[in-house]
Amino acid sequence: MGFLQDHVISRREMVIGGAGAAAVIALTGLPVTALGQGASRGKFQMVKSDEEWRHELTSEQYAVLRRHQTERPGTSPLNKEHRPGTYVCAGCGLPLFSASTKFESGTGWPSFWAPLDGAIATSEDRSFLLFVRTEVHCARCGGHLGHVFNDGPQPTGLRYCMNGIALNFRPENAWPAGADANNKTGH
């Protein structure tokens, strides 16, 4: 039998491991409250004050887009959305993903194998204990969307695992070609 089969992690080992991870985090010099908070760092085309974001977004959208929180899996109505269309940033309306790239990943979050060109940016995320993940955020407003993993389907092999609360769905032909969700007419 291998190590994973022979070794069952005890509660004591779990507590010691958690305390060790907390010590490593504390030694980085960052306050624990700084981890996973604040919008993605960088320069973005759309910049608003924290107060403006709080006013414009629901509390759930604000928690995810601006404070990097994660919605519970299986709670987004977008998991059951299968019409042709475009998924846009709930913060600024930038088109992010075509519905044609959406797939069922079994994770409980809307997943895509490719974003629209120039729609997203990525950064290193070290907020999940000692693991390094790749954060995905809106290229226009910097809002946190989710993470990308290399276990997706072809042709890219990528899985963009997005928080549904950070997205809005616009059915095909919902606005004129070339317009984004903030500039469409008749809405």
Burial of 65 (0-12, 13-18, 19+ CB in 10 A): buried
Q: Which of 113, 110, 157, 161 is nearest to 134 (CA)?
A: 161
Rounded distance, CA 167 to CA 127, Å?
22
Check if 138 is active-site: no
Confidence at residue 43, expressed as pLDDT on a 0 to 100 scale: 79
Whole-number Å distance between alpha carbons of 139 and 46: 9
Contacts by residues 19-25 (CB-CB < 8 Å, ≥ 24 positions apart): 21/129, 21/130, 24/130
Taking alpha carbons only, the member of 186, 185, 180 closest to residue 46 is: 180
Q: Which tens digits make up the pLDDT trace of 27-66?
A: 434 333 333 334 455 678 899 999 999 999 999 999 999 9
**pTM > 0.75: yes or no:** no
pLDDT band at residue 133 under the 50/70/90 scheme: very high
Bridge partners (DSSP) of residue 124 are 134
pLDDT surpassing 80 at residue 180: no
Strand partners, 133: 125
Residue 117 CB coordination number (10 Å): 6
Cα separation, 112 vs 156, in Å, equals: 10
**What are the φ/ψ torsions at residue 144 (nearest 5 degrees)?**
-70, 125
CATH architecture of 37-171: Beta Complex (2.170)
| Beta strands, E only, the chain | 85-89, 95-98, 102-103, 111-112, 120-128, 131-138, 144-149, 159-162, 167-171
CB-CB neighbours of 144 under 10 Å: 27
**Banded pLDDT at 158 (limits 50, 70, 90):** very high
pLDDT at position 42:
62
Q: Where are the domains of the chain?
A: 1-35, 37-171
- Tens digit of pLDDT for each residue in 5-28? 333 333 343 334 444 444 444 443
- Sign of the Cα torsion 50, 53, 57, 62 reads negative
- The answer to whether the CB of 123 falls within 8 A of the CB of 89 is no
Mean pLDDT of the chain: 79
